[in-house]
A and B are shown apart, each in its own frame.
Chain A
């Protein structure tokens, strides 16, 4: 099982309320513990859960997003502060293009819009998995899910219990029921990925 202590996971809260995106800064092949992720989570100010979220430690994201929790957007007065449209346009264009670059990376391989897919690898596993971070509400949830995903490799794929666990996570239960083989594909990083983690759309 991967140790998640070395995982560098940084949460940054948006100043512009963008949807969740994932940015990856990588040098060469990535392992999970080397992946640096900047998550921008949209926190609804009406959500009662946000009080719990505010207790989490937050670090500023690299892209210079807001540091404060739920920063209220100011009601904008015309022409205030006194900044030229040229400057305002340039700054928002740069913000948008850096966001869209991150979305491209996150969705590489056909991920659905709005999902936050991150690649997960475990040493010795024959293929990698992708998790949608939006599915999980806490680190414990994520940890449990990853444990389930990879437990089949420690318990042994032949064991019925291991297979059951594995099949619960997979979207291709029919195929898996009938064979000892699973469909995989090689993505642009040269990693073998289990087919089905990322929705077809």
Chain B
């Protein structure tokens, strides 16, 4: 009889394996490893909440402490997913409240959370520590009050970019005096004013507070008071950054900032009054992360700040920075890894600022650690893209948004196929790509051939025919998420690559040329995919198979058709006119 390796030892070894993909791989080695692994898995990540059910998760992983769930498709961020689509948290928290009494952390993205759900979280999990609600909606400040009042060991409350029904700022006052465990608080998305004295006292009794992101309602004059009570802060999001120009207030603020020796990240900066910008100069040299993407300050002011931040790794700005500012950035910030440039006036046709492709070229030349780019601009050329690609083969995320759909190379008036082709050819580790501008099927041929590590691809107003989609589905070996809007892609490419879709997390296609009949056929061929047609015109049952669908969302699942679809979404496997 073979001696088996003691379980305890294997468990101990597994505890060093933290990445989800690695743990998944470990569980596939053999049955006993599968068993051992599932009992000691503490963190579960579910990228699509409908790919699996709460019951299945709980059955397989009985001792989980941290759950991360994602709901709506990414294009929901841009209003392409109708209200009522789904992504409800409540069914999950109901079952978890029974199965995981020792649950500590919940992280949700693009899910619909209710006050009842939050109340249940606050009461069911005695050791609850971390709540991150990213781009979520459906709850109010009453739900937050329950969390504040009942979670005795709360470490982190992060509401980043969620839509909260803001009834009042009173929720913050529900943190009991005994709560001293807070390390991270992000309330930047809320609009109501909280009681300043409650906030002040909360900060004063939280010695481990490292991250504090205030909301716009916290006035600038009071910021120094808060900073005095939390000089240990590592990340700060200011409130509104405006006040009457008073030198004494400014010097107080500067002094308070200078006491924060650990400060590495700054954000906030709504309603900026340039008079108060010098107050942050003393911390600039330590900053690794700076988010000025809501600050409506002009190029000289922005440039003055970034050129004082030699250790900057991540920068978000508005296009007010202009090419000159980006040039200065490329000379001063040699450690830059991530750059995001947002448009200040996206709905005006003509450029309101002097930001062109040259700014990005400059950064690609000077910042040799640059990995991640999100860039909104009004003009681009193949030669600029090729230069960027050759400068920065280490790019892993490249998202370019030329504001005008189908805009060609502004120098040659050709499509931008070659430019993006150069990107995928040179940047061999590219994991995420967003395309824009005038593009033919050729760019997809390049992507299919070369982008072997690409995991997420976003396409809009591009391509000529099904061939484009076919190149991507048949060529991109690592593709997990594909989202497409307003492209002439249709049935042929989809039906020629049905099995590919089971290797991916999800496919989104809206305003394309996919027919109802093709969706039915896809669903028939691939029973483990949910093929969901979203159509708000209301007559899906009576439409001919040849009619195009508005929106299509296809994802792999082991949970079968979902039961919470609104009337305007149909799962093609449940099509009443279709008989097996």
Binding site for B on A (CB under 8 A): 15, 27, 62-68, 71-74, 76-87, 90-91, 94, 97-98
Contacts and interface: CB of A to CB of B under 8 A. Distances in A.
Contact of B271 (A66, A74, A97): A97
A91 B269 CA distance: 12
B296 A76 contact: no
B75 A81 contact: no
Given A90-B294, A94-B296, A81 B401 contact: yes
A79 B78 contact: yes
11 contacts: A63-B296, A64-B320, A67-B352, A73-B347, A77-B405, A78-B78, A80-B460, A81-B376, A82-B401, A82-B460, A98-B296
B80 interface: yes
B270 A80 contact: no
Contacts of A79: 75, 78-80, 485
B346 interface: yes
Given A78-B80, A80-B405, A91 B352 contact: no
Contacts of A67: 352
Contacts of A86: 135, 161, 163, 189
A71 B163 CA distance: 32
B77 interface: yes
Interface string B325-354: 000000000000000001111111111100
Contacts of A62: 298
Interface residues of B, number: 36
B234 interface: no
B67 interface: no
B403 interface: yes
A68 B350 CA distance: 7
B457 to A, nearest CB: 14
Contacts of B434: 82
Given A71-B348, A79-B75, 4 more contacts: A15-B348, A66-B352, A83-B346, A87-B293
Interface in B397-435: 401, 403, 405, 434
A81 B343 contact: yes
Contacts of A68: 348, 350-352
Closest 5 CB pairs of A and B: A79-B78, A68-B350, A79-B80, A15-B348, A71-B348
B485 A74 contact: no
B427 to A, nearest CB: 21
B193 to A, nearest CB: 15
Interface string B269-302: 0110000000000000000000001101010000
Interface of A is mostly: loop
A40 to B, nearest CB: 14
Contact of A73 (B75, B161, B348): B348
- Interface-central residue, B320, B347, B351, by most chain A CB under 10 Å: B347
B79 A64 contact: no
A94 B294 contact: yes
B347 A82 contact: no
A27 B344 CA distance: 28
Given A84-B77, A84-B161, A86-B161, A66 B350 contact: yes
A64 B80 contact: no
A83 B78 contact: yes
B81 to A, nearest CB: 9
A86 B137 CA distance: 12
Interface string B370-383: 00000010000000
Contacts of A73: 347-349
Contacts of A85: 77, 79, 163
Contacts of A97: 271
Contact of B345 (A66, A78, A90, A94): A66
A81 B79 contact: no
Nearest to A26: B245
B352 to A, nearest CB: 5
Nearest to B403: A81
Contacts of B79: 78-79, 85
Contact of B298 (A64, A71, A77): A64
A160 B243 CA distance: 50
Contacts of A74: 347-349
A94 B189 contact: no
Contacts of B460: 80, 82
Nearest to A83: B346
Nearest to A78: B79
Given A81-B376, A90-B294, A94-B296, A64 B78 contact: no
Given A79-B80, A90-B294, A71 B350 contact: yes
A91 B135 CA distance: 17
A15 B401 contact: no
Contacts of A91: 294, 344
A97 B191 CA distance: 14
A171 B447 CA distance: 74
B534 to A, nearest CB: 14
B271 A15 contact: no
Interface in B460-476: 460
B177 to A, nearest CB: 33
B162 to A, nearest CB: 9
Nearest to B402: A81
A87 B160 CA distance: 12
Interface string B70-101: 00000101111000000000000000000000
